Amino acid sequence: MRQVVRDHDLERHLYTHAGVSAATFDEVAGRWTLITPRGPIQAGAVIWAIGQLHRPRIPEFPGTDQFSGRAFHSADRAQWAVPDGMDGDIAVVGTGSSAAQMLPELARTARSVTVYQRSAAWVLPKPAARFGPVAQWVLEHVPGAHRAHRAALSYVGDAVLAPIMRGGWSALPAEWLARWQLRRQVPDRALRRKLLPPYAIGEKRILMDSNFYPALMRPNVELVTDAIDHLTPAGIRTVDGRERRADVIVWATGFQAQQFFGGVTVTGRDGADLHRVWDEWGGPQAFWGLAVPQFPNMYMIAGPHSFTPANSNPLMKDVQARYIVRCLRLAARRGAPIEVSEAAMTKYRAWLTTAMAATVWPQGAASWFKSAERVTNPWPSTVREFEQRLAHSPAYSFTTAPPSPARTYVRSRT
Ligand SMILES: Cc1cc2nc3c(=O)[nH]c(=O)nc-3n(C[C@H](O)[C@H](O)[C@H](O)COP(=O)(O)OP(=O)(O)OC[C@H]3O[C@@H](n4cnc5c(N)ncnc54)[C@H](O)[C@@H]3O)c2cc1C
User: Would the CB of 50 count as within 6 Å of ligand 1?
Assistant: yes
User: Would the CB of 46 count as within 6 Å of ligand 1?
Assistant: no
pLDDT tier at 412 (50, 70, 90 boundaries)? very low
Report the mean per-residue pLDDT for the chain.
94
- Name the residue with the closest Cα to ligand 1, atom 19: 313
Cβ atoms of 218 and 60 closer than 8 Å: no
When pLDDT is averaged across residues 313-318 and rounded to a whole number, the result is: 96
The per-residue pLDDT for range 73-99, each reduced to its tens digit, is 999 999 999 999 999 999 999 999 999
The per-residue pLDDT for range 147-157, each reduced to its tens digit, is 999 999 999 99
When pLDDT is averaged across residues 256-263 and rounded to a whole number, the result is: 91
The ligand 1 atom at the shortest distance from the C-alpha of residue 311 is 11
User: Would the CB of 239 count as within 6 Å of ligand 1?
Assistant: no
The ligand 1 atom at the shortest distance from the C-alpha of residue 20 is 42
Residue 411 pLDDT: 42
Is the whole model's pTM more than 0.75, yes or no? yes
AA letter at 18? A
User: Would the CB of 256 count as within 6 Å of ligand 1?
Assistant: no
The per-residue pLDDT for range 360-399, each reduced to its tens digit, is 999 999 999 998 889 999 999 999 999 999 999 999 999 9
User: Would the CB of 403 count as within 6 Å of ligand 1?
Assistant: no
The total of other beta-carbon atoms located within 10 Å of residue 259's CB is 15
Strands (E) located in 37-134: 39-43, 46-48, 70-73, 89-93, 112-116, 123-124
Phi, psi of 93 (to 5 degrees): -100, 120
Could you tell which of 255, 313, 320 is best to mutate to test the pocket of ligand 1, judged by most ligand atoms within 8 Å of the CB? Answer: 313
Report CA-CA distances (Å) from 162 to 157, 170, 383, 391: 6, 9, 9, 20
pLDDT above 90 as % of the chain: 90
pLDDT above 70 as % of the chain: 97
Cβ atoms of 300 and 286 closer than 8 Å: yes
The per-residue pLDDT for range 328-367, each reduced to its tens digit, is 999 999 999 999 999 999 999 999 999 999 999 999 999 9
User: Would the CB of 20 count as within 6 Å of ligand 1?
Assistant: yes
The per-residue pLDDT for range 51-69, each reduced to its tens digit, is 988 899 999 999 999 999 9
The per-residue pLDDT for range 107-149, each reduced to its tens digit, is 999 999 999 999 999 999 998 767 889 999 999 999 999 999 9
Asked if residue 413 has pLDDT above 80, the reply is no
User: Would the CB of 312 count as within 6 Å of ligand 1?
Assistant: yes
Asked if residue 226 has pLDDT above 80, the reply is yes
Element (H, E) at 78: helix 77-80
DSSP string for residues in 163-196: GGGG-GGGGHHHHHHHHHHHHHH---HHHHHHHS
Cβ atoms of 307 and 379 closer than 8 Å: yes
Cβ atoms of 92 and 115 closer than 8 Å: yes
